[in-house]
Structure formats: structure tokens, C-alpha cells
Amino acid sequence: MVITQNSSVILAARPDGTYVPGKHLVVAKDLTIDLDTVSLDGGLLVKTIGVSVDPYYRIKMDGSYPLGKPISGHIVGRVIRSEIEEYKAGDYVYTEGAPFQEYAIVSKDASKLSRIDKNAATWAQYLGALGMVARTAWIGFHGLADAKKGETIYVSTAAGGVGSIVAQLAKQRGLKVIGSTGSDEKVKYLKEELGIDVAFNYKKEEIGSVLEREGPVDIYWDHIGGKTLETVISKMNRWGRAIIAGFIEEYDGKETTGVRNLSLVDLKELTLVGFNVNSLEARKGDFGFTVEVPKLIREGKLTIREDIRYGLEVVPQFLLDILEGKNNGKAVVIVADE
């Protein structure tokens, strides 16, 4: 027997409103695992190297995640034992469906389970620029935006993982790109490093005023919902498209007025569409993601800022920082060495 500590990020209580690190998510360090005998149920035993922390985990805390169990998400790791014919001990893998533990049992049916080359990219890149964040931006933009050169796009939370990639793709397509973020430092990043046309701090400038000056908007990439979506609808061109990729305004049970001008959707013949990237990919394909995105990264034509922290114990606070806009790029936690 090889009894080993197996620290885990546990959903200890469901939030009733505001999420509180250490109350709703806790890191249990007293758990153990027998690496030799633990049942794999036809799957893999994986040593977790890194995990992705994403804002939608907050939504899953309201019901999808089982109470008292580890939360799950995107990880990279090294296979310790395998009951899947295609994988062997020593392989490195990525999946979007593994528990946040030092040693995780990964189901053979885990979402996007795949072997990865540890020398082809960094762990953070596999969890960010080559992971679900980039897939969401790439497939959502190519599958739903119907972007045309000369149009104007507004991207909310444009300095985040998804938003920053959408902004870059739109710029490369020849669109005028307007992006908002929550700090002057991030505004500088959007202007100087990503080169978007208009970047502003929404805490200092009214979104409606900026769009009145720089719009109207043909495409809106929305992470906020609520009042922001209402404002943008009023500033959109006829036949505009709003792509709903998130609704941060409604996280944590926040009260919202909702969208009160949906009559403009009819009058302007707007399209409002939400999407799940896995469902969209299944219906429309990946638009060359697995070939084109690594190529763009190698050529320096697509970049993603990374906020890397260390140890599972930082996950609860990291999630709150993301929800409050205090992170500085794609949130990645390195859990262990190889």
C-alpha cells in the first residue's frame, strides 16, 4: 500500500448570495489515497499538475457540484495508473472534467480527455491558450459572430481570457474593436499589448457614453448581462449580433433589473444568442482550432495573459478574485511538479 495525502477543494456549503472563500469552498488537507489499490472504475489515476479556475464554477456551486465533494474542472496531469487501453502510466493528459485533488480519478468518459505533449506548450498554455477558454473564444467567434471587415465589435471584460482572444480575433478580421475592463492597468494592456482601437475603464467612463461616441455596435460579446446588455442593445446597429458568453451581473444571486428594452431586438432585427462551447462545436465543428490556434501562438499572433498561482489552497480565494475582476489574466494554479 502507498497511502498518500490527497488535498482536495471541497464544496462545503452552497452560497446563498455572495460567495465566501473558506466557507463555501474549503481545501481539505486531511484526505488520503492509496495509489496502489484505489479503484479506477475503468479510468485513470492522475497526479494533478495544474488546474484552471474559471468564473462559471460559481454557477455550478448552486447545484451542479455535489455538496461535500471535490469540485471539478479543467486539469493537466501525469497518469499514475491506467485502465484505459489508449493511455499508460507516464502519459500526460488534459481534461475538462476532473476533480480538484492532488491525485484525481479521471473517468474514461471525462470531457475532452486527451494525451498532451509536455514539450509542445507550457502547463498554463494547455489550460488557457490551448484549453476551453481559447476554444470558447475561437469557436464562439467563428461560429456565431458573422464578422465582416469594417464592422464594430464591443467586448466586455476584454482583458480576461476569453475576451482578450475575441478582441484579437476581431482585430485580425479588420473590425473596429472596443473593449472595457475594470482597471487602468488593464486598459493599458488592451491598448499597448493587444492594440485594440478603443479601451476604457467602465468604472470611470459610462459604457453608454463610450458606445455613443465610438459606435454604433454591430457585434457585442457579452460576459455581463443585465444593465450592460440593456445599454449595448440601445447602441447596436440594425441586424446586430449579441453573443452571450456569460452573465456576471447575476452571479452570487445579485439582484438585477434585467433587460428592459427587448422591443429593440424586434425593431432592429437583432440576434441574441447564448452558447455552450461543447454543444456548438458538436454542431458546427471547431473551425480549425486544433491546427490554427497553436500556429497563431507560435507566430506570436495570438497571446493570452496568464495569472499563475501555486497550490490547491489558493483556489477558493482565486475564484473570488476572478468574480471581482482582481485577476490579471487567465487563472491557472500549478499544483505540483511533474
- Amino acid (1-letter code) at residue 31: L
Cα separation, 332 vs 74, in Å, equals 10
Q: In terms of pTM, does the model score above 0.75?
A: yes
- Per-residue pLDDT of the chain (338 residues), as tens digits, is 779 999 999 999 999 889 999 999 999 999 999 999 999 999 999 999 999 999 999 999 999 999 999 999 999 999 999 999 999 999 999 999 999 999 999 999 999 999 999 998 999 999 999 999 999 999 999 999 999 999 999 999 999 999 999 999 999 999 999 999 999 999 999 999 999 999 999 999 999 999 999 999 999 999 999 999 999 999 999 999 999 998 887 776 666 778 999 999 999 999 999 999 999 999 999 999 999 999 999 899 998 899 999 999 999 999 999 998 899 889 999 999 88
Locate cell 491546427: which residue? 291
Q: Within 10 Å of residue 188's Cβ, how many Cβ atoms?
A: 13
pLDDT at res. 2:
78
Half-sphere exposure of 308 (CA within 13 A, CB side): 15
Q: Given this model, what pLDDT does residue 258 score?
A: 80
pLDDT of residue 257: 73
Those residues whose C-beta lies under 8 Å from the C-beta of residue 199, and which sit 6 or more positions away, are: 158, 178, 179, 180, 181, 187, 190, 191
At 251, give phi and psi (nearest 5°). -65, 160
Please state, in angstroms and rounded to a whole number, the distance separating the CA atoms of residues 168 and 190.
10
Contact 315, 9 (CB under 8 A): yes
Q: Which residues are within 8 A (CB) of 313 and not within 5 positions of it... i.e. 6 or more apart?
A: 7, 27, 29
Which residues have C-beta within 8 Å of that of residue 138, sequence separation ≥ 6? Answer: 165, 169, 286, 287, 289, 292, 293
Give 66's contacts (C-beta < 8 A, 6+ positions apart). Answer: 11
Q: Degrees (nearest 5) of the Cα angle 244, 186, 302?
A: 70
| pLDDT 10s digits, 181-239 | 999 999 999 999 999 999 999 999 999 999 999 999 999 999 999 999 999 999 999 99
Per-residue CA distances from 300 to 72, 91, 116, 134, 149 (Å): 32, 28, 21, 15, 22
Q: So what's the pLDDT on residue 254?
A: 66
Q: What residue has cell string 488535498?
A: 7
Cβ atoms of residues 80 and 48 within 8 Å = no
